[in-house]
Structure 1
């Protein structure tokens, strides 16, 4: 079988070692812009009161691994449940801030209207920080949505790059919105935080310890493997099928090389099956 994408499992004694191990197993180096200004890190912080937010220790490991590239901006936007600045504080992200690490609320940043692919947006105001010359590292968690037989992972996390507070108006056409965002804000690297797996609805507060990371440069492939771990065919997830059809990434699991031991793969399959 010829592989067209790869995803590495990091499952070691601590988060930083897990990330270093997974990064070392990727066969191709990280591609960066010719003129690199800074690094943007996008965690997933939906609501600090609920489970399923990106562990700040995972973001800390990302910062330690990539701060050699330049200043790092950890970004999130407001939503109807909380302000991003409060979410950073409540989730323990304030401890990450230092001279070359900034916590940024995208909803408070200056924007510029840019042309979009047109699946949903023809154009849209986007924070100036996200215009050009940066490396985007996406650090999502995985949320299973049982009623819809789908998951929210890396691509869904790009939704938080939209600066407006009320994003619910986009939910009816969320797949079209996500494809626009993936096209414009394609992450250079996706690092999925599987330190804890949410079981059922966030509101139930039930998690399962996994202690793992999934790392890959193809955001579609990373999400496809996440779906596969949960027993869902990626091609049955609309935005993954659309991304595959548009040649934005690999969604066929048998074409994705999963780098890890059979024991690690079996453990994740077991922990992700509800």
Structure 2
């Protein structure tokens, strides 16, 4: 079997150990040529009142990992639940500022006109910080979401849109996500599996797993996340379409999973016991 993509997993005591371990498993290191000026880190903090957000500890680990490579900006936009500034405050992200990292509300920035692949947009305004092919590190969580089956790294790109009310895009969400993935393909995708939501987020239940997942191919990362939850990746519309359009690998038997066998077993057993859909 020829593998088309690779991801790496780790289950450790804390996000810093897990992140460093998982990244060390990738067959090729992240290439930073010394000319990079800025790295954008996009966490998932849709609603701080509910579980399922990227933890401060994971975001801090990512920022610290890259701090000597370039200036680090943690970016998020407003939504109907809260402003990005409120989310940063409620998640204690100000601690990142105390270490010299920048918190950026995308909804407050000037915008520029950008071209897209045309699934949902041919042209639209984007925050100026996203122009000129930014080095983007996507740091999402993973959770079940009935409307789209699985919400992980690609869905987190939705938060790059600056408008507060993004509900008008829900009817053609797959089209929007494909345009965002094409325009703002992350240089590195990280999924924070420190804690994972059990059931509906509003039930406020989560389980500690202590995992982290990393990869260069966001489609492969999300396909593996889907499998952890017992969801067939090809049953997720935006994953199937991304695969069909050559944006990444969604066939599980063509994705190599790096990490120790013990950690793989621990990860699957934790999901099987607590959150996996058993058919």
Q: 1:131 to 1:35 in 2, by over 3 A?
A: farther
Match of 1:223 in 2: 222
Q: What's the TM-score once normalised by structure 2's chain length?
A: 0.94
Q: Deviation string for 1:5-41 (max 9, x for gaps)?
A: 1111121222111111111110112245885220000
Match of 1:80 in 2: 80
Match of 1:160 in 2: 159
Q: What pairs up with 1:188-199 in 2 under 5 angstroms?
A: 188-199=187-198
Q: Helix, strand or coil for the counterpart of 1:50?
A: coil
Q: Distance in 1 between matches of 2:60 and 2:3?
A: 31
Q: Distance in 2 between matches of 1:129 and 1:22?
A: 29
Q: 1:87 to 1:222 in 2, by over 3 A?
A: same
Asked if structure 1 preserves the Cα contact closer than 8 Å seen for 2:148 and 2:237, the reply is: no
Q: Distance in 2 between matches of 1:182 and 1:134?
A: 13
Q: What's the TM-score once normalised by structure 1's chain length?
A: 0.96
Q: Distance in 2 between matches of 1:32 and 1:116?
A: 26
Q: Distance in 2 between matches of 1:100 and 1:110?
A: 23
Q: Distance in 2 between matches of 1:218 and 1:15?
A: 21
Q: Distance in 1 between matches of 2:35 and 2:69?
A: 11
Q: Distance in 2 between matches of 1:232 and 1:270?
A: 16
Asked if structure 2 preserves the Cα contact closer than 8 Å seen for 1:36 and 1:133, the reply is: no
Q: 1:62 to 1:150 in 2, by over 3 A?
A: same
Q: Distance in 2 between matches of 1:35 and 1:246?
A: 31
Q: 1:25 to 1:8 in 2, by over 3 A?
A: same
Shift of 1:260: 1.6
Q: 1:115 to 1:56 in 2, by over 3 A?
A: same
Q: Helix, strand or coil for the counterpart of 2:132?
A: coil
Q: Deviation string for 1:35-70 (max 9, x for gaps)?
A: 522000000001111111100100110011111111
User: Within the alignment, does 1:24 sit opposite 2:15 as a pair?
Assistant: no
* Of 132-141 and 248-257, the range deviating more from structure 2: 132-141
Q: What pairs up with 1:1-274 in 2 under 5 angstroms?
A: 1-32=1-32, 35-98=35-98, 100-132=100-132, 134-145=134-145, 147-148=146-147, 150-273=149-272, 274=275
- The two structures, once aligned, show a CA RMSD in angstroms of 1.5
Q: Distance in 2 between matches of 1:47 and 1:102?
A: 20
* Of 179-188 and 62-71, the range deviating more from structure 2: 62-71
Shift of 1:99: 6.5
Q: Deviation string for 1:197-249 (max 9, x for gaps)?
A: 10111100000110110010110000010001111111110000111011101
Asked if structure 1 preserves the Cα contact closer than 8 Å seen for 2:40 and 2:75, the reply is: yes
- Is there any run of 5+ residues in structure 1 with no aligned partner, and where? none
Asked if structure 2 preserves the Cα contact closer than 8 Å seen for 1:9 and 1:215, the reply is: yes
